[in-house]
Amino acid sequence: MNLKIEKKNEIVIIYVKEERLDAHNSGDLKTEMQRLFEEGSKNILVDLHDVRFIDSSGLGALVSGFKNAISHHGNLKLSTLQTQVKSMFELTRLHRVFEIYTSTSEALDNF
Protein backbone atom coordinates (compact mmCIF):
# COMPACT_ATOMS: atom_id res chain seq x y z
CA MET A 1 0.00 0.00 0.00
CA ASN A 2 1.18 3.51 -0.78
CA LEU A 3 1.53 5.57 2.41
CA LYS A 4 3.40 8.87 2.66
CA ILE A 5 4.56 9.63 6.18
CA GLU A 6 5.60 13.07 7.48
CA LYS A 7 6.28 14.41 10.94
CA LYS A 8 5.27 17.92 12.00
CA ASN A 9 5.64 19.17 15.58
CA GLU A 10 5.54 15.70 17.15
CA ILE A 11 2.53 14.71 15.05
CA VAL A 12 2.95 11.89 12.52
CA ILE A 13 0.85 12.44 9.40
CA ILE A 14 -0.01 9.36 7.36
CA TYR A 15 -1.19 10.33 3.88
CA VAL A 16 -3.06 7.33 2.43
CA LYS A 17 -2.13 7.58 -1.26
CA GLU A 18 -4.67 5.04 -2.46
CA GLU A 19 -8.04 5.39 -4.16
CA ARG A 20 -9.46 2.47 -2.17
CA LEU A 21 -9.00 1.56 1.49
CA ASP A 22 -10.44 -1.93 1.57
CA ALA A 23 -9.91 -5.53 2.69
CA HIS A 24 -7.02 -5.86 0.22
CA ASN A 25 -4.81 -3.10 1.64
CA SER A 26 -6.18 -1.90 5.00
CA GLY A 27 -4.05 -4.44 6.91
CA ASP A 28 -0.95 -2.48 5.84
CA LEU A 29 -2.32 0.75 7.32
CA LYS A 30 -3.27 -1.06 10.53
CA THR A 31 0.24 -2.52 10.85
CA GLU A 32 1.89 0.86 10.15
CA MET A 33 -0.17 2.66 12.81
CA GLN A 34 0.61 -0.11 15.30
CA ARG A 35 4.33 0.16 14.51
CA LEU A 36 4.31 3.94 14.98
CA PHE A 37 2.57 3.76 18.37
CA GLU A 38 4.84 0.94 19.55
CA GLU A 39 7.91 2.99 18.55
CA GLY A 40 6.73 5.83 20.76
CA SER A 41 4.63 8.10 18.55
CA LYS A 42 1.79 9.65 20.53
CA ASN A 43 -0.13 11.63 17.93
CA ILE A 44 -1.13 10.33 14.51
CA LEU A 45 -3.15 12.12 11.86
CA VAL A 46 -4.49 9.96 9.03
CA ASP A 47 -5.16 12.06 5.94
CA LEU A 48 -7.70 10.42 3.63
CA HIS A 49 -7.75 13.08 0.89
CA ASP A 50 -6.96 10.59 -1.91
CA VAL A 51 -9.29 7.85 -0.65
CA ARG A 52 -12.45 7.72 -2.75
CA PHE A 53 -13.73 4.40 -1.38
CA ILE A 54 -13.67 2.77 2.06
CA ASP A 55 -15.21 -0.54 3.11
CA SER A 56 -15.83 -2.13 6.53
CA SER A 57 -12.23 -3.44 6.63
CA GLY A 58 -10.88 0.07 6.04
CA LEU A 59 -13.10 1.42 8.80
CA GLY A 60 -11.96 -1.47 11.01
CA ALA A 61 -8.29 -0.65 10.44
CA LEU A 62 -8.90 2.94 11.56
CA VAL A 63 -10.84 1.73 14.62
CA SER A 64 -7.89 -0.52 15.45
CA GLY A 65 -5.55 2.49 15.17
CA PHE A 66 -7.85 4.53 17.39
CA LYS A 67 -7.84 1.83 20.08
CA ASN A 68 -4.06 1.55 19.78
CA ALA A 69 -3.82 5.31 20.34
CA ILE A 70 -5.89 5.05 23.53
CA SER A 71 -3.83 2.16 24.88
CA HIS A 72 -0.61 4.14 24.22
CA HIS A 73 -2.10 7.32 25.78
CA GLY A 74 -2.01 9.01 22.40
CA ASN A 75 -4.37 10.44 19.81
CA LEU A 76 -5.50 9.42 16.35
CA LYS A 77 -7.43 11.93 14.26
CA LEU A 78 -8.62 12.05 10.65
CA SER A 79 -8.64 14.74 7.99
CA THR A 80 -9.93 15.60 4.50
CA LEU A 81 -12.54 12.89 3.99
CA GLN A 82 -14.36 12.79 0.65
CA THR A 83 -18.16 13.04 0.89
CA GLN A 84 -18.93 9.36 0.22
CA VAL A 85 -16.21 8.22 2.61
CA LYS A 86 -17.58 10.52 5.33
CA SER A 87 -21.06 9.06 4.79
CA MET A 88 -19.69 5.59 5.66
CA PHE A 89 -18.49 6.95 9.02
CA GLU A 90 -21.98 8.37 9.58
CA LEU A 91 -23.74 5.13 8.60
CA THR A 92 -21.64 3.15 11.08
CA ARG A 93 -21.83 5.96 13.74
CA LEU A 94 -18.03 6.19 13.71
CA HIS A 95 -18.22 9.95 13.10
CA ARG A 96 -19.07 10.14 16.82
CA VAL A 97 -15.87 8.31 17.69
CA PHE A 98 -13.26 10.01 15.52
CA GLU A 99 -12.30 13.66 15.47
CA ILE A 100 -12.63 14.47 11.77
CA TYR A 101 -11.26 17.71 10.28
CA THR A 102 -11.90 19.22 6.88
CA SER A 103 -8.26 20.13 6.29
CA THR A 104 -4.86 18.80 7.32
CA SER A 105 -3.84 22.16 8.81
CA GLU A 106 -7.01 22.41 10.90
CA ALA A 107 -6.38 18.90 12.23
CA LEU A 108 -2.77 19.77 13.10
CA ASP A 109 -3.97 22.82 15.06
CA ASN A 110 -6.23 20.62 17.16
CA PHE A 111 -3.81 18.12 18.66
Partner 1 sequence: MDKREIEVDIKVPNQTRYLSLIGRIGEDIAKELDKYSGDRETLAYHINLVLTEAMVNAIKHANAGDPDKTVHIFINITDNELFIRVYDNGQGFDINAIPPPDFTQLEDRGRGIFLIRSLMDFVSYRKVCDGNVLEMRKRLH
In the chain, the amino acid numbered 78 is L
The separation between CA 44 and the C-alpha centre of its own chain, rounded to angstroms, equals: 8
Q: Quick check: 75 binds partner 1 (CB under 8 A)?
A: no
Q: Quick check: 95 binds partner 1 (CB under 8 A)?
A: no
Closest CB to partner 1 among 36 and 59?
A: 59
Q: Quick check: 57 binds partner 1 (CB under 8 A)?
A: yes
86's enclosing H/E stretch is helix 83-91
Q: Quick check: 37 binds partner 1 (CB under 8 A)?
A: no
The contacts of residue 53 (CB under 8 Å, 6+ apart) are 19, 20, 21, 22, 84, 85
Chain contacts with partner 1 (rule: CB under 8 A): 19-20, 22-24, 53, 55-57, 59-61, 63-64, 66-67, 84, 87-88, 91-93, 97
